[in-house]
């Protein structure tokens, strides 16, 4: 149930439907900073975060979700964990509509500096009565949650990125654990180190991508999975994280401000862009999508 190319799909995939997650988790930025370099975007930014600007930007993000009727659940950031604010990375939330079971698969962070974030999220999800699952002990390799594993909107189907942060073998384990089909995409360019930096599923039929992040096999698999593929201009995707946008409801797209080419293309396809300044978080290599976690 793990597919790497269109040729491996013997029949068109028809996974069962899955309701959109309705709740959003955000983590407070009071300890956010760039203290080390674990992706190319962080280089030259150590010590450069303006914490009060970051707090204002985070509050505007929270307000944008509230305005869309998605009321945020807030986790407190912890001292010594400057990337904890990127709450998409420590877990993969799941929901099984047939059994009404909610849970998360815990990540295994690639960088030692981020390992300490995961137990705080395990604790948080336990307080929500979520099942907290771990990858098998005898399986090697890291996994960075919804940095790399993205739900296809409206479908019980995952897209799995690998190449920089997540090991491909992890997806065999996740597919078995959740009984879910997974379409694998190899990431080819270090600026696009997580799948959520270059692939943004908007609704069941439409995706926004940064084509340069993938090879031809990956792009073909994406075209197989979505009727409409919107391409972001490479400069906007690479430097302004245009594809690290988030469409919580199939219509509105929360996106870094100034991604003008991308925004125009989104409008042409009937989406309603909501521009936000995430400039302080771009210094760490993240924007809207990785600053939130959607849960059921
Ligand atoms: N500094 C963080 C890291 O490199 C940023 C994570 C951003 N998250 C994301 N899903 N792209 O791990």
What pLDDT digit, counting tens, does each position of 87-111 carry?
999 999 999 988 899 999 999 999 9
Of 33, 286, 288, 289, the residue with max ligand 1 atoms within 8 A of its CB, to mutate for a pocket test, comes to 286
Name the pLDDT band for 136 (thresholds 50, 70, 90): very high
- Give the C-alpha separation, 223 to 205, whole Å: 10
Confidence at residue 231, expressed as pLDDT on a 0 to 100 scale? 98
Measured in Å, residue 284 CA sits from the centre of ligand 1 at 7
Kindly report the average pLDDT of the chain as a whole number.
97
CB crowding 94-112: b at 16 or more within 10 Å, else e: bbbeeeeebbbbbbbbbee
- Identify which has the larger pLDDT, 12 or 199: 199
DSSP readout, 9-34? -SS---PPB-PPP-EEEEE--TT---
**Which atom of ligand 1 lies closest to the CA of 38?**
4
Examine the pLDDT at 28 and tell me if it is beyond 90: yes
C-beta of 147 in contact with ligand 1 (< 6 A): yes
**Structural domain tally of the chain?**
1
Of 83, 118, 150, 238, the residue with max ligand 1 atoms within 8 A of its CB, to mutate for a pocket test, comes to 83
The parent domain of residue 93 ranges over: 2-295
Active-site residue list = 194, 290
**CATH code, domain carrying 44:** 3.75.10.10
Q: Which has the closest alpha carbon to 32: 120, 123, 117?
A: 117
C-beta of 83 in contact with ligand 1 (< 6 A): yes
- CA-nearest residue for atom 6, ligand 1, is 286
C-beta of 286 in contact with ligand 1 (< 6 A): yes
**Which atom of ligand 1 lies closest to the CA of 146?**
10
Average pLDDT rounded to a whole number, residues 172-184 = 97
CB 243 within 8 A of CB 198: yes
Q: Which has the closest alpha carbon to 209: 164, 142, 150, 166?
A: 150
Question: What is the SS3 assignment for 215?
Answer: coil
- CA-nearest residue for atom 1, ligand 1, is 284
The predicted model scores a pTM of 0.97
- Identify which has the larger pLDDT, 9 or 276: 276
What distances in angstroms separate CA 176 from CA 135, 171, 256, 280, one per listed residue? 11, 8, 36, 38
């Amino acid at each position: 149930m793990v597919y790497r190319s269109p040729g491996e799909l013997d029949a068109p995939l028809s996974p069962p439907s899955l309701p959109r997650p309705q709740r959003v988790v955000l983590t407070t930025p009071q300890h956010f900073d760039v203290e080390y370099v674990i992706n190319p975007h962080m280089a030259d930014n150590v010590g450069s975060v303006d914490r009060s600007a970051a707090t204002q930007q985070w509050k505007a993000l929270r307000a944008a979700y509230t305005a869309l009727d998605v009321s945020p659940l807030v986790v407190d950031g912890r001292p010594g964990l400057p990337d904890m604010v990127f709450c998409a990375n420590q877990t993969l939330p799941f929901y099984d509509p047939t059994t009404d079971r909610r849970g998360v698969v815990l990540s295994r962070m690639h960088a030692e500096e981020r390992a300490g974030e995961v137990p705080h999220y395990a604790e948080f999800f336990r307080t929500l009565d979520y099942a907290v699952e771990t990858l098998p002990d005898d399986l090697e390799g890291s996994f960075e949650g919804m940095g790399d594993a993205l739900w296809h909107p409206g479908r019980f189907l995952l897209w799995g990125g690998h190449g920089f942060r997540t090991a491909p073998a992890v997806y065999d384990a996740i597919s078995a654990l959740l009984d879910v089909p997974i379409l694998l995409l190899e990431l080819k360019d270090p600026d696009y180190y997580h799948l959520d930096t270059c692939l943004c599923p908007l609704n069941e039929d439409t995706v926004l991508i940064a084509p340069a992040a993938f090879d031809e096999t990956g792009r073909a698999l994406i075209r197989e999975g979505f009727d409409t593929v919107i391409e972001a201009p490479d400069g906007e995707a690479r430097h302004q994280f245009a594809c690290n946008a988030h469409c919580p409801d199939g219509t509105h797209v929360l996106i870094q401000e100034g991604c003008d080419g991308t925004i125009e293309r989104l409008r042409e396809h009937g989406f309603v862009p909501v521009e936000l300044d995430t400039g302080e978080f771009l210094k760490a290599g993240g924007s809207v999508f990785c600053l939130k976690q959607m849960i059921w």
